[in-house]
Amino acid sequence: MISKNAKCCVLLIFGILFLVSPVFAAINTIRPGEMVFLGEQGLNVNSAMEGDTKIGWWASAASIAGSSPDSTVSVSNPESFSVSPNLFGSYPGVWYHLNPSGQANGTAFNVVDPQLDIKVEDTTVNVDVTDKWVPSGDALRFRIDTNMYPISSRTGGSALPVTIKVQSPDGAIFTTLISNSGGTTSIVDYGVTTSPQYTDSIWGTNNREAYPTGTYTIWAECNVNGMKDNYGVSGKTISRAVSLLNQDQNPLIKVNVPTTNPTQQTVSPTKTVTTLSTTVQQTPQNTSVPTLTQSPVPTATPTIIETTVTSLPTLTPTKTKSAGFEAVLAGFALILALVFCAKKE
């Protein structure tokens, strides 16, 4: 069983939500000559039709009184009328309700192609930051441009409900925003009564936990009387999506980061010098021709230089004894004989 105190708390919470949430009455009743927008459905055009059952459209330069309409549409259920983009998209402007003879019998309504756009402004420095960057900590507001604000003047209307979509870098979509002062504002069905419409500075980027740095995507939608469901076209019932980079450092200012250049070691190529050996043998009688021994020449890459050495015939010199060799032997034998004789005596 739920206690009495718990029930009171639940009722109190719902009461608070009811008070802070925007409440929009039905804004589907159309008076003669009022604007209706492509995509709207469930409109009550009883008053605009004044009892007639058909409407007609004339080109801008046509004589309405003396000619037939260029396009006609039957209104079978004036209490639930739809402005179909397929049916009315090529015929914007004033439509007249027709008498049984097919002649203009008064202005019914004015068909308009909806338009919707949104921008983001930094109120800390009073700069438009749409598709730009904002320093973390600045306060932001939105600017809404639309031609649909006359809907707020319809019977029972107070404002045009436009939902502002703010998508965080991780893909989450906010339904409320927190200002730098801590106030919370719902951005669902935000009331628009003029164009351009400015919000207060409802988005405070100093809350790092709620709004981390990164790129945010922002757009606006209007689905009054099912417009977006039937005519969900960018720039019409859905604004183009804009971006906002929230970060501390201006992305156009480059931070100088010390760069350590790696030590470059230059290795000099080793030069191999090949010495061509020359063997020269000479005799006192003949002059010998040196014998050239060709050593293999190292191949260099990529250029190959070939050194060709022509081998000359090897001349073998005549082997002769050195002069005085016999005298040396005789002297040595004489010395040995004297030593032997001395020992014997």
Average pLDDT in the 95-124 region? Answer: 98
Nearest to 144 by CA among 195, 203, 191, 188: 195
Which pLDDT value is given to residue 250? 74
The residue that leads in pLDDT, 255 or 75, is: 75
Mean pLDDT, all residues of the chain: 80
- Whether the CB-CB separation of 259 and 185 falls below 8 Å is answered with no
| DSSP for residue 131 | T
pLDDT band at 186 (very low <50, low <70, confident <90, very high): very high
What residue type is 20 in one-letter code? Answer: V
Which pLDDT value is given to residue 339? 63
Domain with CATH 2.60.40 in the chain: 116-247
- Report whether pLDDT(229) > 50: yes
- Which numeric CATH code is attached to 116-247? 2.60.40
Cα dist. 298→128, 272, 273, 274, 291 in Å?
Answer: 73, 8, 9, 8, 22
Which pLDDT value is given to residue 258? 54
Burial of 222 (0-12, 13-18, 19+ CB in 10 A): buried
pLDDT tens for 295-335 read 444 444 444 444 443 443 443 333 434 444 455 455 666 67
pLDDT tens for 55-65 read 999 998 788 98
Q: How far is residue 10's CA from residue 50's CA, in Å, rounded to a whole number?
A: 48
Average pLDDT in the 280-303 region? Answer: 44
The residue that leads in pLDDT, 170 or 249, is: 170
Q: How far is residue 111's CA from residue 279's CA, in Å, rounded to a whole number?
A: 115
